[in-house]
Structure 1
Amino acid sequence: MGSLALLAACGHSGGGAPGAEAPKKDFTIGWSIYAGWMPWPYAQEAGIVKKWADKYGITIKLVQVNDYVESVNQYTAGKLDGVVATSMDTLTIPAAGGKDTSVVILGDYSDGNDGVVLKNAHSLADIKGRPVNLVELSVSQYLLARGLEKAGMKLSDVKIVNTSDADIVGAFASPQVNAVVTWNPQLSEVKKAPGASLVFDSSQIPNEILDVMAVSSATLKANPALGKALAGIWYETMALMQKNDAAGRAARAQMAHDAGTTPDAYDAQLKTTHLYYGAADAVRLAKSGELVTVTDRVRRFSFARGLFGPSATSVDSIGIGFANGKTLGDAANVKLRFDPTYMQMAADGKL
């Protein structure tokens, strides 16, 4: 899963607490097509969204945005109360743009959904000196940087050719392109090309390409019912979709349909998506030192690539708060918060 990070200038509005906002009853959450996010539209169609929203006296509407980056930009602009995104894009778009954002659900990590594919090669070492087609400044570039680092190389050892996700399969089909980095479903297509070899994938960097439900911290503070309902919706749907009975298969088939793919193809994508089906597992990650470590890698990459915006003077310009009390960056300018409160309530059966 990836995106091109388009962002506003880094905002700095001191203070460690989210701003005040009036309570409200109606909420809109944006989503786009990705294996790990299809449970959300399914939950709306199946009545699970309404069930939990009714329980807390609110209304939640899930809205599909066809362009992933546009969904994150709409959230950043205040047109959506929440959005599904990667943790990297949550940091580099809303948080870097000055919007105080809370991660309330750690949904999954890419466990092979993102990969580096070469023609006529046996290992990642063969990439040296090649032009590499990928979506620049996205998790694809992050994945490549991590792979090169593990292989003792740097991004300067290759030449990046910025290519949209819609064009990557066609590009790899041409004789002159022999290296791409992409995500599913495009990844499964490029791997089929003659002479193609998958030489590095996201299963080798667990929890680094992390997919989350992000909501406005101010909205959440004024409306904790939103966090409770979202956790209830997510974990009820998780319990259903992992069943291997008729109901589970029907749920996954509907998710496949919503994603524009077949049940078999969707099940194949789920195999390379490490979903946190249980709330307790997600809470464990949220409170772990591992989350701090991988987020530190992501923020350092993002700052080095200019993704914090022109006014960010250092990697510490944006504060990131964690449930274990740790803060990365400026504690007086926390703009991204990992808040496991509602996942914990789900784990404890207290929703």
Structure 2
Amino acid sequence: MMPRFRSLLAGVLALSGLAHAETLKIAYSDWPGWIAWEIGIQKGWFKEEGVDVKFEWFDYVPSMDAYVAGKVDAVCMTNGDALVTGATGKPSVGILINDFSNGNDMIVAAPGVKTMKDLKGKKVGIEEGFVEHLLLLTGLEKNGLKPEDVTIVNTPTNETPQVLASKAVDAIGAWQPNSGQALKALPGSKPVFTSADAPGIIYDLLYVSAESLEKNKEDWAKVVKVWYKIAAYIRDEDNLDDALKILSARVNLKPEEYEPFFKGTYILTLDEALKRWEKADGLGSVYGSTKNVNAFNLKYKVYKDSQDPEKYLSPALTKALKK
């Protein structure tokens, strides 16, 4: 009778939702829109929703490497880097938009360079093929300049503060915290173009492997639901101090030090995200933005074969919340 009893008990547990589910592993890294997951973790909202999730902390590039190697089920990436990861390693499906960069990505210029137009004939330290390269080209175009009007000095993003301070270049392109470090490293330097000048040029999403999404769709739906609870909490001004305290602690900063990074990231509410999921050209749509970065990646030979944005994006779980 004992085996029979165990079988019945297992069935009851499964029906009641108490049976052990597969743990979803998510790689995240140092970006405000991704550190925001900490709010849901610390407040126990994933447990309340009944989903077993393990968030694993990485530096950004290693987080993508872990995803490609199959060590995690999902990873937080920009829409452009998702194309690169898919074209050269392992495809993924973006199931929710965390945010778009709203000033954290910057072209920082040395003293004497007051506008993008002043960069004509000058050197810019940029990591070629990365998103700041695209930001630079967008800034040049918006100011009537051509790519050949500047000389690009290929520079790893984490080295841009030192390169600017050394005066080897006249400007650099970097995202936070590197862009902020560059401003501190060279007194008198200033941002002359940022992602706030081209909102939607960089979207940050949660990307899941197709296999895990198909196998665990109900659990991923719960993760998306928790995210929009986090987003609503963050966007409520009454919660700002608590949110800053949680986010800043994850990267060992004081809340007042972290606040500028937070403000340079536009975390989307559910209604705002639904608008960004509408298929359209231009940066106001995640589809248009991803199409834009695909063209950039092809032009600068980041990968050889064109990628289809629609294969990397799935708004279904977000749209289900609206219903």
Q: TM-score range by the shorter chain?
A: 0.7 to 0.9
Instruction: Give the structure with the higher percent helix.
Output: 2
Within 5 Å, which residues of 2 pair with 1:193-272?
193-245=186-238, 248-272=240-264
What is the match of residue 157 of structure 2? 165
SS at match of 2:158: coil
Matched, 1:29 2:29: no
Amino acid at match of 1:266: Y
Unaligned runs of 5+ in 1: 1-23, 322-333
What is the match of residue 178 of structure 1? 170
Distance 1:251 1:115, change over 3 A: closer
Q: What do the CA deviations read for 1:34-64 (whole angstroms, capped 9, x no partner)?
A: 1111111332232122222x2xxx4210000
TM-score norm. by structure 2 comes to 0.85
Q: Distance in 2 between matches of 1:163 and 1:35?
A: 24
Q: CA deviation at 1:115?
A: 1.1
Q: What do the CA deviations read for 1:240-270 (whole angstroms, capped 9, x no partner)?
A: 223333x552232111110222212222222
**What is the Cα-based RMSD across aligned positions, in Å?**
1.9
What is the match of residue 309 of structure 2? 320
Q: CA deviation at 1:109?
A: 0.6
Do 1:140 and 1:182's aligned partners in 2 also have CA atoms closer than 8 Å?
Answer: yes
Q: What do the CA deviations read for 1:176-207 (whole angstroms, capped 9, x no partner)?
A: 33211111122223234333232111112111
SS at match of 2:106: strand
What is the match of residue 114 of structure 1? 105
Matched, 1:296 2:274: no
SS at match of 2:199: coil
Do 2:102 and 2:264's aligned partners in 1 also have CA atoms closer than 8 Å?
Answer: yes
What is the match of residue 89 of structure 1? 81
Q: Distance in 2 between matches of 1:189 and 1:203?
A: 19
What is the match of residue 15 of structure 1? none
> Of the candidates 145, 148, 158, which is equivalent to residue 140 of structure 2?
148
What is the match of residue 73 of structure 1? 65
Q: CA deviation at 1:163?
A: 2.3
Distance 1:167 1:106, change over 3 A: same
Report how many residues are paired: 297
Q: Distance in 1 between matches of 2:154 and 2:195?
A: 20
Do 2:176 and 2:261's aligned partners in 1 also have CA atoms closer than 8 Å?
Answer: yes
Do 1:130 and 1:159's aligned partners in 2 also have CA atoms closer than 8 Å?
Answer: yes
Distance 1:200 1:283, change over 3 A: same
Do 1:76 and 1:97's aligned partners in 2 also have CA atoms closer than 8 Å?
Answer: no
What is the match of residue 320 of structure 2? 345
| 4+ runs deviating over 6 angstroms | none
Unaligned runs of 5+ in 2: 1-20
Q: Distance in 2 between matches of 1:184 and 1:47?
A: 28
Amino acid at match of 1:127: L
Q: Distance in 1 between matches of 2:30 and 2:46?
A: 18
Amino acid at match of 2:92: T
SS at match of 1:83: strand
Distance 1:172 1:222, change over 3 A: same
Do 1:280 and 1:343's aligned partners in 2 also have CA atoms closer than 8 Å?
Answer: no
SS at match of 1:96: helix
Larger radius of gyration between Structure 1 and Structure 2: 2
Do 1:102 and 1:216's aligned partners in 2 also have CA atoms closer than 8 Å?
Answer: yes
Do 1:88 and 1:139's aligned partners in 2 also have CA atoms closer than 8 Å?
Answer: yes
> Of the candidates 57, 61, 65, which is equivalent to residue 64 of structure 1?
57
SS at match of 2:88: coil
Distance 1:136 1:261, change over 3 A: farther
Matched, 1:100 2:95: no
SS at match of 1:344: helix
> Could you tell me the percent identity over the aligned residues?
28
What is the match of residue 125 of structure 2? 133
The structure showing larger relative contact order (alpha-carbon pairs under 8 Å, at least 6 residues apart) is: 1
Q: CA deviation at 1:239?
A: 2.1
Q: Distance in 1 between matches of 2:289 and 2:225?
A: 27
Do 2:82 and 2:91's aligned partners in 1 also have CA atoms closer than 8 Å?
Answer: no
Q: Distance in 1 between matches of 2:228 and 2:288?
A: 26
Q: CA deviation at 1:84?
A: 0.6
Amino acid at match of 2:303: F
Q: Distance in 2 between matches of 1:80 and 1:155?
A: 38
Q: Distance in 1 between matches of 2:115 and 2:228?
A: 39
Amino acid at match of 2:90: K
